[in-house]
Amino acid sequence: METHLWLIRHGETVYNQERRIQGRLDIPLNENGKEQARLLAEWMRTRPVDAVYASDLKRAVETAEAIARVHGLTVNPLQGLRERSFGEWEGISFEELEEQYPDWKKVWAEGGRYGVERFDELSRRIAEQWEWIARRHPGAHVVVVGHGSSMHAGLMAIAHEQRNELNVRLTNTGVTSVTFHPDHGWQLVRINQTDHLQAVKSADR
């Protein structure tokens, strides 16, 4: 049976607003992020949701809780859905990253230096978590709230022939739809849907 996953990036945080690298730092939603989560939950209210999963970091759990509440569900937090570890980069701004690390683009793409998680390991970790969730809920519609870098890596692992569609920034509370069939694998349906954000500005937009 085909399972539908709503893959959602968490709402905005102060670090998003200040263009700082969060990684594994446990930063909560800011006021704008809470409003984004509320609008997202209202948008999701009329859509089928059978289960809700999230990274166990606050910004993901808080976003997921808004959706879970309108569907009478509870959030299942998973450590395996956490953001990429950015090692010694965590907490610095993107401007500081560019100034202090001349090789940052290569390391961002591949990982393996400065404590940054390897991209291939990140892709595999996230794709395996998504498949575990999908196989646990055959035929269901499941919300999975995660993080921008880790979601992009996971999509690179599962999209295969559709990789050309992934040149899109995953914005705060953007919704990406995928399906999983145990015999036919993954299909990317829609990427970074943001209809619900008409009324609010985001640092990512």
pLDDT in tens, 29-74: 999 999 999 999 999 999 999 999 999 999 999 999 999 999 999 9
Domain count within the chain = 1
With a CB cutoff of 8 Å and minimum separation 6, the contacts of 39 are: 173, 196, 197, 199, 200
- Annotated catalytic residue within 83, 117, 147, 196: 83
CA distance 83 to 39: 23
CB-CB contact of 202 with 171 (8 Å): yes
Domain contains 111: yes
Annotated binding residue at 71?
no
Annotated binding residue at 15?
yes
CA dist list (Å): 94 to 50, 89, 114, 117: 38, 9, 15, 17
83 noted as active-site residue: yes
Domain contains 19: yes
SS3 category, 157: helix
Annotated binding residue at 175?
no
CATH of the domain at 20: 3.40.50.1240
Angle among Cα 35, 129, 62 to the nearest 5 degrees reads 20
Annotated binding residue at 181?
no
Domain contains 155: yes
Domain contains 205: no
Domain contains 20: yes
Annotated binding residue at 10?
yes
pTM for the structure as a whole: 0.93
Q: Answer positive or negative: Cα dihedral of 182, 69, 202, 105.
A: negative
10 noted as active-site residue: yes
Q: Which of 127, 144, 145 is nearest to 186 (CA)?
A: 127
Q: What is the pLDDT of residues 127-177, one digit of tens each?
A: 999 999 999 999 999 999 999 999 999 999 998 766 666 677 899 999 999
Domain contains 132: yes
- Annotated catalytic residue within 10, 147, 152, 196: 10
